[in-house]
């Protein structure tokens, strides 16, 4: 049995989709029995990064608004670019698009075997999560719903990997 599972969510800028995926995952993991309410599960850690992030950029206001509406918060998030140490620490890397997956595997061939698009991981090949960047709040809400739908499929698979 694994002692700890580190999951890394990746998008382009690490200010919208991967931030929402990280926050929603943490909330949904607890709700789906991954940890006791109000208790951090030491066996699972979620993080996020971007393939082309501007370091230290805050999450978009709309992403934070949607997370708050969902009861998931990451108010102190700062963007980070994917780096070798993040790749090495992650047991599972979930990208929002096939292009992001391709970039990671091109830059870090050692990530093969643990990097998928969120859609692939759920069994929905070629099903990218659309980027809401620059759009209104409603588009962010739609993107969050897409991410939640995929996480509902991914979390049981991730739980199985702990057994």
State how far the Cα of 152 lies from the Cα of 6, in Å rounded to an integer.
18
SS3 83: coil
Of the candidates 121, 128, 126, which has an alpha carbon nearest to the alpha carbon of residue 143? 128
Instruction: Give me the catalytic one of 17, 30, 122, 128.
Output: 17
Clarify whether 127 is annotated catalytic. no
Tokens, residue 59:
């999450």
Clarify whether 11 is annotated catalytic. yes
Non-local (6+) Cβ contacts of 3 within 8 A are: 43
Instruction: Give me the catalytic one of 11, 16, 30, 101.
Output: 11
Clarify whether 17 is annotated catalytic. yes
Instruction: Give me the catalytic one of 43, 127, 131, 141.
Output: 131
Name the residues annotated as catalytic: 11, 17, 131
């Amino acid at each position: 049995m694994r002692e700890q599972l580190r999951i890394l969510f990746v998008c382009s800028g690490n200010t919208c989709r991967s931030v929402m995926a990280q926050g929603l995952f943490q909330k949904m993991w607890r709700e789906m029995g991954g940890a006791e309410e109000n208790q951090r599960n030491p066996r699972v850690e979620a993080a996020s990064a971007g393939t082309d992030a501007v370091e230290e950029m805050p999450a978009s206001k709309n992403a934070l608004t949607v997370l708050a509406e969902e009861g998931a918060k990451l108010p102190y998030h700062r963007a980070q670019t994917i780096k070798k140490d993040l790749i090495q620490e992650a047991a599972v890397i979930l990208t929002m698009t096939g292009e992001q997956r391709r970039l990671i595997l091109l830059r870090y061939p050692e990530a093969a075997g643990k990097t998928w698009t969120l859609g692939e991981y759920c069994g929905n090949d070629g099903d990218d999560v659309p980027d809401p960047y620059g759009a209104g709040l409603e588009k962010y809400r739609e993107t969050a719903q897409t991410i939640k739908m995929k996480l509902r499929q991914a979390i049981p698979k991730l739980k199985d990997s702990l057994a």
